[in-house]
Structure 1
Amino acid sequence: MSTVKRDPITGGYIYLTVEDIEYRVYYEEAGQGIPLLLGHTAGSDGRQYRHLMCDEEVTRNFRCIAYDLPYHGKSLPPYGHKWWAEEYNMTRARMMAFPNALSDALTLERPVYLGSSMGGHLAIDLAHDFPDRYRATIAVEGALRSATEYVDVGMDGIRREFDNPNVSRNSVGAAMLLNMSPYSPEEAVREVQWEYMCGGPGIFAGDLYYYYYEHDMTPEQAAEIDTDRCMLYLLTGEYDPNTSPAETQAVADRVKGSEFTAMPKLGHFPATENYPEFRQHLLPVLNKIAAKAADR
Structure 2
Amino acid sequence: MRLAERADDWHAACAADTALAALGCRGEVGFGIRAGDEAVTFGFHDGRPVGAARRTDFEVAADPEAWREFFSAEPRPPHHHLFGMLMRVPGTAVTGDEVCFAQHAHLVRRVLEIGRAVIAGPPPAPPAPTAPPAASAAARVDRIEGRYLWAEVGQEPVRLFYEHAGTGRDVLLLHTAGADARQFHHLMNDDRLTERCHLVAFDLPWHGRSGGPPSEHPGAYALDTDRYVATIMAVIEALNLDDPIVVGCSMGGEICLELALRHPDRLGGVVACEAADHVPGRQVGWARDPRVNQTLFVPEWVEGLMAPQSPPEHRREVWWGYSQGGFGTFAGDILFYSGDWDARDRVGRIDTARCPVVMLTGEYDYSCTPEMSRRTAGRIPGAVFRTMPGLGHFPMAENPAEFAGHLLRALDEIDGKTRETAG
TM-score normalised according to structure 2 size: 0.64
CA contact (8 A) 2:187 2:401 kept: no
Say yes or no: does 1:171 pair with 2:297: yes
Counterpart-to-counterpart distance in 1, 2:327 and 2:204: 15
Say yes or no: does 1:269 pair with 2:394: yes
Q: Which residue of 1 aligns with 2:252?
A: 119
CA contact (8 A) 2:165 2:198 kept: yes
* Counterpart code for 1:17: E
Structural mapping, 1:100-115, within 5 Å: 100-115=233-248
1:33-89 deviation per Cα after TM superposition (whole angstroms, max 9, x unaligned): 1111100000000000011111111112211000000111110223x42424x7210
Q: Which residue of 2 aligns with 1:29?
A: 164
Shift of 1:108: 1.4
Q: Which residue of 1 aligns with 2:328?
A: 202
1:191-237 deviation per Cα after TM superposition (whole angstroms, max 9, x unaligned): 0000001110101000011101121011x411111000001110000
Q: Which residue of 2 aligns with 1:12?
A: 147
Q: Which residue of 2 aligns with 1:81?
A: 215
Alignment: residue pair count: 283
> Structure 1 residues 92, 164: closer, same or farther in 2, change over 3 A?
farther
Counterpart-to-counterpart distance in 2, 1:163 and 1:132: 39
Shift of 1:109: 1.8
* Counterpart code for 1:245: P
Secondary structure in 2 matching 1:83: coil
CA contact (8 A) 2:357 2:414 kept: no
CA contact (8 A) 1:9 1:30 kept: yes
Counterpart-to-counterpart distance in 2, 1:136 and 1:27: 21
Q: Which residue of 2 aligns with 1:43?
A: 178
1:15-39 deviation per Cα after TM superposition (whole angstroms, max 9, x unaligned): 0011111100000000111111100
Secondary structure in 1 matching 2:185: helix
Counterpart-to-counterpart distance in 1, 2:354 and 2:342: 22
Structural mapping, 1:132-281, within 5 Å: 132-147=265-280, 149-150=281-282, 159-162=284-287, 164=289, 167-218=293-344, 220-281=345-406
User: Rg: which structure is higher?
Assistant: 2
CA contact (8 A) 1:13 1:24 kept: yes
Shift of 1:164: 4.6
Secondary structure in 2 matching 1:144: coil
CA contact (8 A) 1:141 1:268 kept: yes
Counterpart-to-counterpart distance in 2, 1:294 and 1:125: 23
Counterpart-to-counterpart distance in 2, 1:15 and 1:28: 14
* Structure 1 residue ranges without an equivalent (≥5): none
Counterpart-to-counterpart distance in 2, 1:141 and 1:187: 22
CA contact (8 A) 1:164 1:205 kept: no
Secondary structure in 1 matching 2:150: strand
CA contact (8 A) 1:34 1:290 kept: no
> Structure 1 residues 27, 258: closer, same or farther in 2, change over 3 A?
same
1:147-188 deviation per Cα after TM superposition (whole angstroms, max 9, x unaligned): 2x34xxx7xxxx442465864212111222211111111110
* Counterpart code for 1:81: S
Counterpart-to-counterpart distance in 2, 1:285 and 1:120: 14
Say yes or no: does 1:61 pair with 2:196: yes
Secondary structure in 1 matching 2:343: coil
Q: Which residue of 1 aligns with 2:111?
A: none
Shift of 1:104: 0.6
Counterpart-to-counterpart distance in 2, 1:36 and 1:93: 22
CA contact (8 A) 1:179 1:240 kept: yes
Shift of 1:96: 0.7
Counterpart-to-counterpart distance in 1, 2:273 and 2:309: 18
Counterpart-to-counterpart distance in 2, 1:254 and 1:293: 21
Shift of 1:244: 0.4
RMSD, aligned CA = 1.8
Q: Which residue of 1 aligns with 2:262?
A: 129
> Structure 1 residues 273, 4: closer, same or farther in 2, change over 3 A?
closer
* Structure 2 residue ranges without an equivalent (≥5): 1-137
Counterpart-to-counterpart distance in 2, 1:88 and 1:16: 17
